[in-house]
Amino acid sequence: MQSGFLLDPDVAYLNHGGYGACPEPVFAEYQRFQAELERGPTDFFTRNVFKGFWGSDDGTGRLTDARSALAAFLGARTADLVFVPNATSGLNAVIRSLALEAGDEV
């Protein structure tokens, strides 16, 4: 499995939860998106990534398309999924939404 990553082969890397390394195909796609962003940042975000995200434009952008694809894969409703910056942010949002009272246990 290590051969699919760009990690130093002399290091046993076990911290994928904190600073996860990407498999090489994912990293290549990330670089392709980064180059597209650098060629036209405003166009990239306003006409591609966030198009339709707030319901203000016709059509959908990449974030909405990604949510829809993920929902189909999971068998969930698109409206029930959100993207968060990281796992900590997601857990924080869920925990803050709970109406916990003294004596409750999680």
Largest CA distance in the chain: 55
Domain count, the chain: 1
pLDDT of residue 14: 79
Position 66 in a domain: yes
As given in the structure block, the two tokens for residue 101 are: 């009272």
Position 106 in a domain: yes
Position 76 in a domain: yes
As given in the structure block, the two tokens for residue 104 are: 């409750």
Domain that holds residue 91: 58-106
Position 105 in a domain: yes
Position 93 in a domain: yes
**91 in Cβ contact with 82 (< 8 Å):** no
pLDDT of residue 52: 65
Position 85 in a domain: yes
pTM of the model: 0.65
Position 51 in a domain: no
Residues 6 or more apart in contact with residue 67 via CB below 8 angstroms: 78, 81, 82, 83
| Residue reference for tokens 């969930």 | 76
pLDDT of residue 54: 59
Give how far the C-alpha of residue 101 lies from the chain's centroid of Cα atoms, to the nearest Å: 32
1-59 pLDDT, tens per residue? 667 888 888 888 877 767 778 889 999 999 998 999 999 998 888 878 877 665 555 55
The three state secondary structure string of 36-101 is HHHHCHHHHHHHHHCCCCCCCCCCCCHHHHHHHHHHHHHCCCHHHCCCCCCHHHHHHHHHHHCCCC
